[in-house]
Structure 1
Amino acid sequence: MDQCWARVADPGSPLPFPDGAFDDVIAALVLHYLEDWTAPLAELRRVLRPGGRLIMSVNHPIVFKLLHPEADYFATRKWSAEHTFNGQDAVLTYWHRPLHAMTDAFTTAGFRTAVISEPHPAPGAHELFPDELADKPAFLCFLFFVLKAT
C-alpha cells in the first residue's frame, strides 16, 4: 500500500481518507495533548483495515506523577510545563491519564492492545544527553503501543 502523510489541524475533524484505507497508522506523541481521545481514536480506527495497526506513543503517565507527587495519578488532569526550543520559551499543555484510562479508550474505539513498550535509552543516548540521563538506568518518558484494529 502507498504511504500517505496527513496533518489534521482539528483533532475532531474527519480524515480525508476512505474507510479501511490503511494497513498501519502512526500517531507519535499526539494524543496526550488532547483532553478527549474518543473522536480521534474512532477516526484512526475508521481509516484502518480490520487487523491494521495503530502504532503510537504518548507521554508515560509516570512523568506527571514524578513532577506532581501530590497529584492523584488516577485522575485525568490537564497540566503544563515550560520548555525551551532553540532558545525560544514555550509552555506545552498536556492531559495526564492513567494507563488503565488509555487502554480503556483503545478498547472502546475498537482496538486490541498488542504491545506496550517502555524502551531503554538508545545506544549512545547517555553520551548525547549526559545531563538528562546522568545516573539513570531508565528513561521513562514515553510509552509505545501497537494496537490492532478489531
Structure 2
Amino acid sequence: MTDEQENTGVQERRRVNDYDAFAAAYSAENDGSLANAYYERPAMLALVGDVAGHSVLDVGCGSGKLSASLRDRGATVTGIDASAGMLELAEQRLGDDTELLLVDLNDPLPFDDETFDDAIASLVLHYLEDWTAALAEMRRVLKPGGRLFASVDHPFVAYTIQDPRPNYFANTSYEFEWEFGGRRVPMRFWRKSLQSMLDAFTSAGFRVASINEPQPAPEARELFPQDFEHVSTAPVFLFFALEAVQD
C-alpha cells in the first residue's frame, strides 16, 4: 500500500460518524424530533429520576440538551463528547458553569476514581465496536453504588437492518448515510445481542437493575401522527438502569 492510499483510507475512516460535519443541523433536528425529544430523552429522564444534588457524567453529551435538563433538575453535570463541533454548541447552550470536555471513549476518562454519582450514556454505546474499555472507565469514575443509565438502538431492530440478516449473536457493524442540511454523512453502528450487552455490563462491574422498553411521550401522537404508531408499537430503543457493584 502506498502512502497516498494509506492516507486516503485514514481520511475515509475519519469521515465515518463525523458529527463535526453536520453538528448544527443534527442538533436542530435532535432538539425537536420524535425519536429524541418525545421518546428517548423523556424516557431517560424518567428512568434517571431525582438527580438533585448528584454529580452526573453525560457520556456523549452532544449539543447538551440532556445535560441542560439534568442541570435544571438540580444535578451538577459534566459533559463529554468526541465531537468538537457538538461541544461548541453545548457550550453555547449551557454556558460556563457546566464542564465540557473533548473525550474519545476508546481512551481513558480524564477523571479521578469515584468522581460521579451517576453516568448517562444516551444512544452512544452502539458507536463502539468493543464496550469493554469504555464501561470499565465508567465504572471506575462512579462512586460505589453509583448508577449508569444507558440507551442503545434496540438489538432486535439493528438485527433486521441488513439484508441478508447477519448472525444475531455476532458483533457486527452496519453502515448507512444520514442527511442533514443537504449534506450526506456516512455512519457506522455496531450490533450486539442482548446477551452480549448484559455480559459486557456485568463484566465491567455493574448489576442490571432494570431493562426498559418505554413508550413515547403521549403528546407525540398529535405532533407526529404518521410516525407515532410505529414508535409506540415496535421496538426502537432499549434502556438499561445499572448499579456499580461495590468491591
Same-fold call, TM cutoff 0.5: yes
Aligned partner letter, 2:78: W
Cα distance in 2 between the residues matched to 1:77 and 1:130: 34
Shift of residue 80 of structure 1?
Answer: 1.3
Q: Is 1:6 aligned to 2:79, yes or no?
A: yes
Query: Which position in structure 2 is the counterpart of 1:93?
Result: 188
Q: Is 1:55 aligned to 2:149, yes or no?
A: yes
| Pair 93,136 (structure 1): closer, same or farther in 2 beyond 3 Å | closer
The answer to which structure has the higher strand fraction is 1
| Structure 2: gaps (5+ residues) | 1-53, 56-75, 83-103
Task: Give TM-score, length-normalised by structure 2.
Answer: 0.56
Cα distance in 1 between the residues matched to 2:220 and 2:129: 32
2:126 to 32, 35, 38: 32
Shift of residue 45 of structure 1?
Answer: 0.1
- The CA RMSD over aligned residues, in Å, is 1.8
**8 Å Cα contact 2:174/2:189 also seen in 1:** yes
The answer to which structure has the higher helix fraction is 2
**8 Å Cα contact 2:119/2:138 also seen in 1:** yes
Shift of residue 63 of structure 1?
Answer: 1.4
Q: Is 1:116 aligned to 2:189, yes or no?
A: no
Cα distance in 2 between the residues matched to 1:139 and 1:120: 10
Query: Which position in structure 2 is the counterpart of 1:80?
Result: 175
Cα distance in 1 between the residues matched to 2:233 and 2:143: 35
Taking CA–CA contacts closer than 8 Å with sequence separation of 6 or more, which of the two structures ends up with the larger relative contact order? Answer: 1
Stretch moving more, 114-123 or 103-112: 114-123
| Pair 19,127 (structure 1): closer, same or farther in 2 beyond 3 Å | same
Stretch moving more, 27-36 or 76-85: 76-85
